[in-house]
């Protein structure tokens, strides 16, 4: 329902834009303005030339300009002017019509798009540099509009899917408590724990979505300060308090970064390794020239080449049947690595992923140092 409403709003907004464009084009009376300007210039030029010719003839031989000669000469000039004006007007009509034809196509396409046919495009006629440039620019608008609609539709569908499970759990346990009351201590404890976990999952989902949305809009800016990569990575590993994680560091690795963002990025890579591996996890920090290299190595289920290409897409998760830790997977929304990628981009950090099914995955970060 939410997806349908939002999609309808987007279509309405797009339709209003193209309708406004169409109305502006029609109400501008461009053809009338061009025709009036053209006729005024031609008429003025002809009259000016006639006056010059008439005055020149008179000055060159005023004695020959008797009344009869002047009258006949004036008639000739008037007839010539009328013929010239008619010929120029007809020629100008066809020239202006040809000039405005591409703009009429733009208006027709705008009408189609405003009616909901966002697949409409303008054919480039090579009729002129300015018109062709206008057509190319105009064609990019429905392309972006179409991509935005598809992205929003997929995004809302993913959110709806992710929220459906925790909401169902919360409502289910609330109904159980309402039916059986709080007399069963074991049931009460189980219900409270499940509701709390589901609430935490929804909170994490909303916070991650807000972070991603703000980052993509350019409003989630990092506050960069000199940061010790070794100390930050070490403290992040310690927060997990997981005996399976082995850390090896390197001194004198400093960069300008937002330590909170960077710690969150390291945490997402570690969290991903823990979810998909029951074996030892290695975190290695090395340094070469002006770069630090951080590797997150797990010996878990690994990924296929197809999954590796999608690993940073929002809401992407590998098949649950191949997941090493089912309980952890249930609490994953598939946003962690998308968030980590955005933070890496903010700090010009390059990410390389190598993985082999059944043997594990390695995420290597190339970090520019001060």
How many Å is the Cα radius of gyration of the chain? 36
The CATH number of the domain holding residue 261 is 3.30.565.10
Secondary structure (3-state) at 276: coil
225, exposed or middle or buried, with CB in 10 Å at 0-12, 13-18, 19+? exposed
Q: Are 138 and 109 in contact (CB under 8 A)?
A: yes
256 and 349 part of one domain: yes
* pLDDT recorded at residue 162: 76
Q: What is the pLDDT of residue 28?
A: 45
User: Based on the domain organization, do 108 and 13 belong to the same domain?
Assistant: yes
Query: Do 314 and 338 contact (CB within 8 A), yes or no?
Result: yes
In a domain, 149, yes or no: no
217, 241, 260: which is the final residue of a domain? Answer: 217
Residue labelled with tokens 């440039």:
133
Are 278 and 190 found together in one domain? no
The verdict on 333 and 263 lying in the same domain is yes
139 lies in some domain: no
Residue 50 forms part of a structural domain: yes
What pLDDT was estimated at residue 319? 59
Q: Are residues 276 and 361 in the same domain?
A: yes
For the chain, the straight-line distance linking the first and the last C-alpha, in angstroms and rounded, comes to 50
CA-CA distance, 352 to 363, in Å (whole number)?
6
Tell me: do 354 and 298 sit in the same domain.
Answer: yes
Residue 234 CA: distances (Å) to CA of 165, 231, 257, 275, 361: 35, 5, 16, 20, 21
Note the pLDDT of residue 220. 84
CA distances from 100 to 29, 35, 47 (A): 11, 11, 28
Whether residue 148 lies inside any domain: the answer is no
Of the residues 177, 200, 217, which one is the last residue of a structural domain?
A: 217
108 occurs within a structural domain: yes
**Domain contains 282:** yes
Query: What is d(CA 245, CA 281) in angstroms, rounded to the nearest whole number?
Result: 5
The pLDDT value given to residue 229: 95
- Host domain of residue 198: 158-217
Which phi and psi (to 5°) does residue 198 adopt?
-65, -40
User: CA dihedral in degrees (269, 272, 273, 279; nearest 10)?
Assistant: 160
The count of structural domains within the chain is: 3
From the first residue on, what is the mean pLDDT of each consecutive set of 10 residues in the chain (370 residues)? 42 49 49 59 68 65 62 74 74 70 70 65 61 70 72 74 82 82 77 86 84 82 93 94 92 92 94 89 93 94 87 74 48 78 94 92 94
Are 265 and 334 members of one domain? yes
55 inside domain: yes
Asked which of 217, 252, 287 is the last residue of a domain, the reply is 217
Task: Based on the fold, state whether residues 238 and 363 are members of the same structural domain.
Answer: yes
Strand-pair partners of 366: 293, 350
Query: Do residues 277 and 352 both lie within one domain?
Result: yes
Mention every residue, 6+ apart, whose C-beta is less than 8 A from residue 323: 275, 276, 301, 329
The answer for residues whose C-beta is within 8 angstroms of residue 135's C-beta and 6 or more apart is 102, 105, 106, 122, 123, 124, 125
What torsion do the CA atoms of 202, 203, 207, 213 make, to the nearest 10 degrees?
30
pLDDT at 296: 96
73 within domain boundaries? yes
Same domain for 252 and 208: no
Residues 6+ apart with CB under 8 A from 180: 187
Q: What angle do CA 113, 118, 124 make, to 5 degrees?
A: 80
Task: For residues 101 and 43, state if they share a domain.
Answer: yes
Task: Looking at the structure, tell me whether residues 213 and 270 fall in a common domain.
Answer: no
């Amino acid at each position: 329902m939410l997806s349908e409403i939002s999609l309808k709003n987007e279509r309405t907004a797009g339709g209003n834009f193209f309708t406004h464009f169409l109305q502006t084009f029609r109400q501008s009376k461009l053809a009338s303005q061009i025709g009036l300007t053209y006729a005024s210039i031609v008429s003025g030029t002809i009259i000016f030339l006639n006056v010059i010719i008439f005055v020149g003839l008179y000055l060159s031989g005023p004695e020959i300009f008797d009344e009869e000669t002047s009258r006949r000469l004036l008639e000739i000039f008037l007839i010539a002017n009328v013929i010239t004006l008619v010929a120029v007007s007809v020629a100008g009509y066809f020239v202006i019509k040809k000039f405005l034809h591409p703009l009429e196509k733009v208006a027709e396409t705008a009408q189609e798009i405003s009616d909901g046919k966002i697949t409409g495009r303008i054919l480039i006629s090579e009729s002129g540099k300015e018109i062709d440039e206008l057509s190319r620019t105009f064609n990019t608008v429905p392309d972006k509009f179409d991509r935005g609609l598809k992205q929003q539709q997929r995004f809302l569908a993913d959110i709806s899917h992710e929220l459906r499970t925790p909401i169902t759990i919360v409502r289910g346990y609330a109904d159980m408590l309402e039916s059986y009351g709080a007399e069963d201590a074991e049931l009460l404890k189980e219900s409270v724990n499940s509701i709390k976990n589901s609430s935490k999952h929804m909170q994490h989902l909303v916070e991650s979505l807000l972070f991603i949305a703000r980052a993509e809009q350019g409003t989630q800016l990092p506050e960069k300060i000199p940061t010790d990569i070794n100390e930050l990575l070490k403290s992040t590993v310690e927060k997990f308090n997981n005996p399976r994680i082995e850390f090896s560091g390197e001194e004198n690795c400093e960069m300008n970064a937002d330590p909170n963002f960077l710690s969150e990025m390291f945490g997402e890579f570690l969290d991903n390794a823990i979810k998909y591996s029951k074996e030892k996890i290695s975190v290695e920090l090395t340094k070469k020239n002006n770069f630090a290299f951080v590797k997150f190595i797990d010996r878990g289920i690994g990924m296929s080449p197809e999954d590796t290409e999608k690993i940073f897409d929002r809401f992407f998760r590998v098949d649950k049947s191949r997941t090493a830790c089912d309980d952890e997977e249930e609490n994953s929304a598939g946003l962690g690595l998308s968030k980590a990628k955005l933070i890496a981009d903010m700090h010009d950090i390059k990410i390389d992923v190598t993985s082999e099914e059944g043997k594990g995955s390695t995420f290597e970060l190339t970090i520019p140092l001060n």
